[in-house]
Amino acid sequence: MIKRTLNDIAEMIQIENDLSPYGKKEIQGVSINSREITPGQLFIPFKGERTDGHQYVSDAIEKGAAAAFWQEDVPNPPTHLPIIIVKDTLTALQELARAYRNQLSIKVVGITGSNGKTTTKDMMANLLALKYKVQKTEGNYNNHIGLPLTILALEERTEVAVLEMGMSGKGEIDFLTKLARPDATIITNIGESHLQDLGSREGIAEAKLEIINGLKSDGLMVYMGDEPLLRNYFDSYEGQATVKTFGRTEQNDLYPVNIQQLDNGSKFQVNASEVEFTLPILGMHNVLNALSAMIVAQHFNVSFAEMEAGLVKVRLTNMRMEILQGQNGEKIINDAYNASPTSTQASIELLANLPGYKKKILVLGDMLELGADEERFHEEIGLSICAENIDAVFTYGRLGHLIAKGAKEVLSEDRVFAFDEKAPLIEELKKHVNDETIVLVKASRGMKLEEVVEGLQ
Ligand SMILES: CC(=O)N[C@H]1[C@@H](OP(=O)(O)OP(=O)(O)OC[C@H]2O[C@@H](n3ccc(=O)[nH]c3=O)[C@H](O)[C@@H]2O)O[C@H](CO)[C@@H](O)[C@@H]1O[C@H](C)C(=O)N[C@@H](C)C(=O)N[C@H](CCC(=O)N[C@@H](CCC[C@@H](N)C(=O)O)C(=O)O)C(=O)O
Ligand SMILES: Nc1ncnc2c1ncn2[C@@H]1O[C@H](COP(=O)(O)OP(=O)(O)OP(=O)(O)O)[C@@H](O)[C@H]1O
Ligand SMILES: C[C@@H](N)C(=O)N[C@H](C)C(=O)O
C-alpha cells in the first residue's frame, strides 16, 4: 500500500497547503470508510447518498488515521488535525492513485468486458502468481473509485497488478485505462450489460474498446475473436500494440480442443499445446475466460505446463458458478452475482450439458438495466430453454414473468412456476428437489437471488 509523507502527497496531487507541523507525517494506505480505519491510513471523505464522510474525519483520526483530506467547499475543517484541503476529494483520490501508479515499477493487466471481468481477473492473477508477486482487484472494485483504491493498495514490491475495469457509460473505461496505463488488456466479450445506458451492443463495444486508449504502445491487446463487433474494429487497427484473439473457433490465435464437461468444471486442451488443462469452474464461458488469461500469461513468459498448475487451483469470487449443497441433498449452482442475456444463456447451456443429474431446475430472476427491449430479452431466455435438458423453471420478479411466458412455449405449463416473492418460491422449489437434482440460480445483482440459495440450505 502507499506509504508517503503528507508533503509527498501534496506534491503528488499538486496542491499547495501549509501542512506544518504535519508535513513529515507518513500515511500507510488509504480508506474511504471511517468504520474500517486501520492505523496510519489517509482517510478520504466522500459526500454520499446517506451521509457525508466529512462528519467522520475526527472519528477516523481518533481511530488511528494519520491524516485526512477535506473538500474545500465543506465548512469548518478541523484545522487542529492533520488534514489536507483539496478542491474535490474524488479527484484527489484519483490523482493520488495516478501519481502513485507512475512511481511504481510495475506491470499492469487491465480487464474489461460485459461479462467475466471478475472471473478472468481471478484466473489471470492465479496464472501470473506462478512467476510474479501479484496483486489484483478485490471483489468488484472496478470503477472510478474502486480502481484508484486498488492502485493505492499496491505494495512497492508488487510486480504485476491485475485490474478490473467496469463501466456503465461512455468515457468511463477511457478514464480508468489512462489512469492505470496497462501493459496488457483483455476484452472478455460484448454482451448486453448496461445496454440501457449504452443504447446498443455497438455502443457497448465502443465503450469497451476505450481500454486500448491507455494501453502501452508496445502492449498486448487480447479480445474475444468470435465477436464481430470487436473483430471488425481490429481488422482495421493500425496501432503498434500486439493483438491476439481467443474464442471457440479456429479463426482465433488460441482456441480449445478436446473439451470434456465435468460435474465440477472442464478438461480441455488448446491448439497451441499438448498439455491437458483442468479448470475446476463450470461452463464453457469460463474455458474462454481462461484462454484470455492464458494468452496474457504466455506474454509474461508463463509456460503452458506452468499454466496447468495455475488453472487447477483457480477459486472464483463468490456467487459465480459457486457449487453448494441444499437441505434435501440437491446440488445448487449459485450464479446469482449478476445476469444479462449473454451470461444467462451461458449458464443455461452449462446446466443443459452438465452430466450426472436426474433433474435439472433453473431459478431465474430479472436481468436489469437492459433498456427498452427488456421484455423481449426475458421472453427470449424462456424460449431458449431446451425441454429435453431442463426439467423445471422457476422465475422471480416482474420481468421473470416474461421468462416464464417464453418457457411455457417449450415446456409444459406444470413445469414452469412464476413468483413475485422469494418465500413462496423457496417453499414450492423444496417440493421438487432431492439428492439427484441440481438447481442453478441466476439474476441481476439488484434481485439478490442468493436469498433463494440461502432458503434451500
Ligand atoms: C463513496 C462510497 O463509499 N460509496 C459507497 C456507499 O455509498 P453511499 O452513497 O450510500 O455512502 P454513504 O452516504 O453511506 O456514506 C458516504 C461516505 O461516508 C463514508 N462513511 C459513512 C459512514 C461512516 O460511519 N463512516 C464513513 O466513512 C462512506 O464510506 C462513504 O464513503 O455505500 C454503498 C453501499 O454500501 C456503496 O455501494 C457505495 O459504493 C460506490 C457505489 C462505489 O462506487 N464503490 C466503489 C468502491 C466500487 O468499486 N464499488 C463496487 C461496484 C462498482 C460497480 O458497480 N461497477 C459497475 C461498473 C461501473 C459502473 C460505474 N458507472 C459506477 O457508477 O460504478 C459494474 O457493473 O461492475 C462494489 O462495491 O462492488
Ligand atoms: N465470458 C463470459 N460469457 C458469458 N457469461 C459470462 C462470462 N464470464 C462470466 N459470465 C457470467 O457472468 C457472471 C458474472 O461473472 P463476473 O463477475 O466474472 O463478470 P463481471 O464482468 O465482473 O460482472 P459485473 O460487470 O456484473 O461485475 C457469472 O456468474 C457468469 O454467469
Ligand atoms: C451496479 C451495476 N454494476 C450492476 O451490477 N447492475 C446490475 C444490472 C444490477 O444492478 O443488478
pLDDT digits (tens, 9 = 90+) for 115-140: 999 999 999 999 999 999 999 999 88
Q: What is the pLDDT of residues 412-456, one digit of tens each?
A: 999 999 999 999 999 999 999 999 999 999 999 999 999 999 999
The CATH class, in words, for 3-91 is alpha beta
Does residue 319 surpass a pLDDT of 90?
yes
Amino acid at 160: V
Q: Which atom of ligand 2 is nearest to the CA of 289?
A: 1
Which ligand gives the minimal distance to the CA of 55? 1
Instruction: Give the residue, out of 366, 367, 445, with the most ligand 3 atoms within 8 A of its beta carbon, to mutate for a pocket test.
Output: 445
What was the pLDDT predicted at 201?
A: 94
What was the pLDDT predicted at 95?
A: 98
Q: Which fold has domain 322-456?
A: Protein-Tyrosine Phosphatase; Chain A (3.90.190)
Q: Are 363 and 351 spatial neighbours (Cβ–Cβ below 8 Å)?
A: no
Q: Best-predicted range by mean pLDDT among 197-201, 228-232, 258-262?
A: 228-232
Atom 26, ligand 2: which residue's CA is nearest?
338
Is any ligand 1 atom within 6 A of the Cβ of residue 166? yes
What residues are in contact with ligand 2 under a 6 Å CB criterion? 113, 115-119, 140, 166, 188-189, 193, 285, 288-289, 320, 335, 337-338, 342-343, 346-347
Is any ligand 1 atom within 6 A of the Cβ of residue 114? no
Domain residue ranges in the chain: 3-91, 104-311, 322-456
Q: Are 264 and 312 spatial neighbours (Cβ–Cβ below 8 Å)?
A: no
What 3-state DSSP class applies to 13? coil
Q: What is the pLDDT of residues 181-225, one digit of tens each?
A: 999 999 999 998 888 889 999 999 999 999 999 999 999 999 999
Which ligand gives the minimal distance to the CA of 446? 3
How far, in Å, from the CA of 159 to the mean position of ligand 2? 26
* ipTM score: 0.95
Check if CATH label 3.30.930.10 holds for domain 104-311.
Answer: no
Q: How far apart are CA 446 and CA 8, in angstroms?
A: 41
Torsion of CA 325, 430, 347, 173, to 10 degrees: -80
Task: Give the helix ranges, DSSP H, for 13-129.
Answer: 57-62, 89-103, 117-128
